[in-house]
Every structure is written in C-alpha cells, then in structure tokens.
A and B are shown apart, each in its own frame.
Chain A
Amino acid sequence: MADEDVVLLDFWPSPFGMRVRIALAEKEIKYEYKEEDLRNKSDLLLKMNPIHKKIPVLIHNGKPVCESLVHVQYIDEIWPHKSPLLPTDPYQRAIARFWGDFVDKKIYGLESRKVWSTKGEEQEAAKKEFIECLKLLEGELGNKAYFGGENLGYVDVVLVPFYSWFYAYEKCGNFSIETECPKLIAWAKRCMEKDSVSKSLPDQDKIYDYVLHLKKVFGIE
C-alpha cells in the first residue's frame, strides 16, 4: 500500500462517516481525515461530490467514491488482503446487502429520526417502529457473535455506528434500548471491544449534546 493516497471527507457525528472509518481501520489503511463544516462546505467536497454535496466522501488516489454502503463494499473489494467484510457465497452476500439496505431505510431513515425530533403521539409511533426494526435486527443476529458470524462483517460495520446515537435516542425518547433488545446491546458492546470500532465512534454523551444542539437549531421544543 506504499503509494496509496486516501482522504476521507467526514463530519464527526455522522454514522455514515463512521462506517468508512471502521472499514478503513479493519483493513489497516492509513488515511487523511478531513473534517467538513457542513454549513460552509469546502470546495473539495463540492468538487468531489457534486451531485449530493454530502459527506462522507472517500478520495482514493484522486478518485472520489460517494455513499457509505458503496464505500464499505469498495473498501472491501480494493483491499481484500485482510478482514473480509462481505462473505464469498452469493446468497450470503445478498442477505448481508439486504440487511445493509434495511438499516439504511429503517434505522437511519427519516422515520427513526422522529424518535428525537418529535413529541407526543408522533414520537410514540416512531419509537414503536424503531424498536420493532431493532428487534428484527436482533432476530437476524440470533446467537452469532457478529452479524458476519465469527468476525465483524458488512452488516456490523453498517449498523454499529448507530450505537453512538443510542443514548441520545433513549434520552429524547425516554426509553431503554437495552430493556427492549438486550442481545443487540451485548453485540454492540462486543463490537466496541475492537479498536477499529471504538476509535471510530464518538462518545454517546457528545452525540447527545449534538442532538440537543440540533433540536435547538431546528426549533424543536
């Protein structure tokens, strides 16, 4: 990996950025981390992701890759030397991709955000839906150590960043994820024992402060 030039345009609370950080750490790829100010996006970000103008962007030897699920697969394909993230069997790969897509739609989707951004009935409905989705994931995890089996895999990398947001969700939604999904929390803690994960995720308290800040900015409560 001598001549590799890897740059990550990121924003610290972004779970999408965290995915890329974890995947790169799993592969032991050195990279330059560039924090973006989303209110004042850099020319580099606008140039590298002209379509969505969003972080994270991975720039590998000058070429940009956008969209975090695309990143994780790209990183897995371009650096296959260690820590394979996707399985080799086409059916197992399809199942992993299915759950990756599920996490994006249901856990990171606009509906789940209502757990902290709304109140009353709307919040209760969002909470119920959110917990149901977490339970489906817990069911998929089953008795495995990781979604990927014995080792951290694609779905783990895709989902675990959200663990850093759990505390904010719980505080704002006034509920306990551990009570609802104890096995999922045990899994998250298992993932956090890995440096690749723990060093890529910010503290839950910091995310909670950030969410409080967002609520103020958006004029919620």
Chain B
Amino acid sequence: MKWRTIFSSKTMGDDEEVKVFGMWASPYSRRVELALKLKGIPYEYIEEDLSNKSALLIKHNPVHQKIPVLVHNGKSIPESLVILEYIDETWRNNPILLSQDPYDRAMARFWAKFIDEKILSTARKVSFTTGKEQEHAIEEVTEQLKLLENEVKGKAYFGGEGIGYVDIVANFLVFWFGNLQEALGINIFSQHKFPFIFEWIQKQLKIDMVDECRIPKDKHLTYIQTRLAAFKSASK
C-alpha cells in the first residue's frame, strides 16, 4: 500500500544485490520475502527443490543446508529470524520492524522464539502424528495460540501501531496455517476461538505486500496431502 509508494525509489542503491533462496510453501522463507517487500527492497528469488538442494544453497548455508538464506552483495545470512534483524538493521527505512526500546525489542524476540519453538514446532507435530498423540498436539497448539491471541488483544499489531517483527514472524497464520488445518481436516483455528488473531489477519490482508506473499491454496493443499501420504506410507 502506502509504504511502497513512499519508499520504493530511495531505499537502496543500484549496486546492491539481494537474493533470497526460498521455498514457496515455507513460512520461514515467506517471512523473509515479506520483510523485503515491506521495506521496498528489490530481490531475486531463487526457488529451491528441498528434495534436491542446489550446490549454491549448500554453499551459502553449509551448516544447516536449509532455506531461507539471504545473500546480500555476496554475503550469506541463514535463519529467518536472524535475517529479519539483518534486514531491519541494514535498511533503516520504514517500516522499522524492531522498536528502539530495549525492553520492547526483548519482548518481540521472546514472542518470535515462542512462535518458532512452540507454535510452529507443535503444528509440525499435529501434521505428523495420529490418534491420541495428535489429539494431544492439537490441545497443545490451541493453548499456545491462546497465549498469542492474548498478546495481540487490544492492539492493532503485535508491535503496536504498525506492522513489525512479530507480525512478520506470525504471518504464517494468515495463509499457511489455515491451509494446513484444511488439508488435515481439523478445526483448531477459527474466528470464534481466536477473534483477536482473526481481526489481526483481516488487517494483514489489506496490506498489498502480505497479499503478494499469499501461498497458493490449491497447490499448498495438494503439497501437504502428498507429504502426508508419503509420511504415512513410510511409517507403516
């Protein structure tokens, strides 16, 4: 929306080279793309086939060999949360993703970690378990989402008035999570249970850059179902 028109022409010089190694269905690479789009940073996107990783990806992230990786003027930065902070510190134009206040920054980092280590990790458990184990994981993720719901309650965004670091980290709730739940045929996440998160999602959807990071639904459902089928046949 407005940010783009204000900042698109003056964010960076012509000699900058920004590349993102990502995977279309990954909430981690989508968040890197969203941050770059919000800041108005042009980048080249390189789609990785995770079953056959490119030599370039391995070169840029030899330790974990995972997406996403940001390559800025030849320097590579892996790990999405690390990349988000790098983007915010390198391109100081709006939106500023992390507040200048050390306490607010600590809180933002706390929630980002909570989302990655608790919610996304439990969501994976929900996907790859069955029966009682899955029921337990569903309860667990519901409790975790309630904590997040409580955090966004009464605020426009997690960071306050504008979209920021935690909003970008939580962006998987806008498209990815709903698709996952539909593919799994479960109903954890509804407007009825999480009115404040859904209000926040509606706000996100009005931002053009968020919409540009939309994960194509049909393709995503097919992708999840294929992975689940492969998992089930492997675990039999």
Contacts and interface: CB of A to CB of B under 8 A. Distances in A.
Interface stretch (B8-16, B82-90, B164-172): B82-90
Contact of B89 (A73, A93, A95): A93
B84 to A, nearest CB: 10
Contacts of A73: 105-106, 109
Given A70-B113, A98-B79, A101-B82, A90 B89 contact: yes
Given A94-B82, A98-B82, A101-B82, A67 B89 contact: no
A95 B89 CA distance: 13
A94 B85 contact: yes
Interface residues of A, number: 23
A166 interface: no
B interface, how many residues as a size bin? 20 to 34
B113 A67 contact: yes
B198 interface: no
A94 B60 CA distance: 14
Nearest to B92: A90
A187 interface: no
A90 B86 contact: yes
B110 interface: yes
Contacts of B106: 65, 70-71, 73-74
Interface in B50-87: 63, 72, 75, 77-79, 81-83, 85-86
A90 B90 contact: yes
A66 B82 contact: no
B156 to A, nearest CB: 22
B85 A102 contact: no
Instruction: From B75, B106, B110, B147, name the one whose CB has the most chain A CB atoms within 10 angstroms.
Output: B106
Given A74-B105, A90-B86, A93-B85, A98 B110 contact: no
A60 B75 CA distance: 37
B20 to A, nearest CB: 14
Given A67-B109, A98-B78, A77 B102 contact: yes
Interface string A58-91: 0010010111011101100110000000000011
B110 A66 contact: yes
A74 B86 contact: no
A70 B110 CA distance: 7
Contacts of A101: 79, 81-82
A67 B115 CA distance: 13
B173 to A, nearest CB: 18
B83 A51 contact: no
A13 to B, nearest CB: 22
Contacts of A97: 79, 81-82, 85
A206 B102 CA distance: 35
Instruction: From B81, B82, B83, name the one whose CB has the most chain A CB atoms within 10 angstroms.
Output: B82
Interface of B: 63, 72, 75, 77-79, 81-83, 85-86, 89-90, 102-103, 105-106, 109-110, 113-114, 147
Given A65-B110, A91-B72, A97-B82, 20 more contacts: A51-B114, A51-B147, A65-B103, A67-B110, A67-B113, A70-B110, A73-B105, A73-B106, A74-B106, A77-B102, A90-B90, A91-B75, A91-B90, A94-B77, A94-B82, A94-B85, A98-B78, A98-B82, A101-B79, A101-B81
10 contacts: A70-B106, A73-B109, A74-B102, A78-B103, A90-B86, A90-B89, A91-B77, A94-B82, A94-B83, A94-B86
